[in-house]
Amino acid sequence: MKNKIVSLLAIILGIMIISFPLLGIVSSSAIIGLSVLFISIYALLMGISIIDYNTTGAVLDLTSGVVLLLLSIGLIFNPALFSFLAEITLYLAGIILIIGGVVSLINNRNSKYGFYIGIAGIILGVCYIIVGTYIANPIILGTFIGIWLVISGIMRLLN
């Protein structure tokens, strides 16, 4: 039951982050901060949902969720932090996706589709860094995070 709720939440958050940048109203700081916020919510919920049978994975998820939560709040509400991180923000978001993919690989070793969830996060994180280097468009970059959340949610539902 917990897995279905977390999976549906990941799909909903993914669809929200895919559609949110298309509105084009908010600055790239808020878009990236919101993207990181959605990933932190997902990591925190995953950590809570697997704490019964995978303590190490839960601690990894909860720790990364708290760090990402603090980073996202800073990005959303503190423009000075964004200006400081402006040059490395694109790389940071890609690295966060890669870390999320690696954590998914570690946590879902016994899952039927867990391998693919982790690989999707790693591949999209690398794409995020590559595209961010050449395009730097927050709509495309935010969409990559949304795609990963939707893929993760669907794979967990199929499991």
- Tell me which residue of 5, 10, 2, 6 sits closest to 120, measured CA to CA: 10
- Tell me which residue of 66, 75, 72 sits closest to 47, measured CA to CA: 66
Lowest-pLDDT range of 59-68, 102-111, 131-140: 131-140
Half-sphere exposure of 10 (CA within 13 A, CB side): 27
159: pLDDT confidence band, cut at 50, 70 and 90? confident
Containing 94, the helix (H) or strand (E) segment is helix 89-107
Domain that holds residue 31: 2-158
Say how far apart CA 139 and CA 143 lie, in whole Å.
6
Maximum Cα–Cα distance for the chain, whole Å? 44
Q: Looking at residue 25, what is its pLDDT?
A: 39
Q: What is the pLDDT of residues 80-127, one digit of tens each?
A: 676 667 667 678 788 888 988 888 888 877 777 778 888 888 898 888
Evaluate if pTM is beyond 0.75.
no
Cβ atoms within 10 Å, residue 74: 17
Instruction: Report the alpha-carbon angle 113-68-17, nearest 5.
Output: 65
- Tell me which residue of 87, 84, 79, 82 sits closest to 133, measured CA to CA: 87
Average model confidence (pLDDT) for the chain? 79
Provide the number of structural domains found in the chain.
Answer: 1
28: pLDDT confidence band, cut at 50, 70 and 90? low
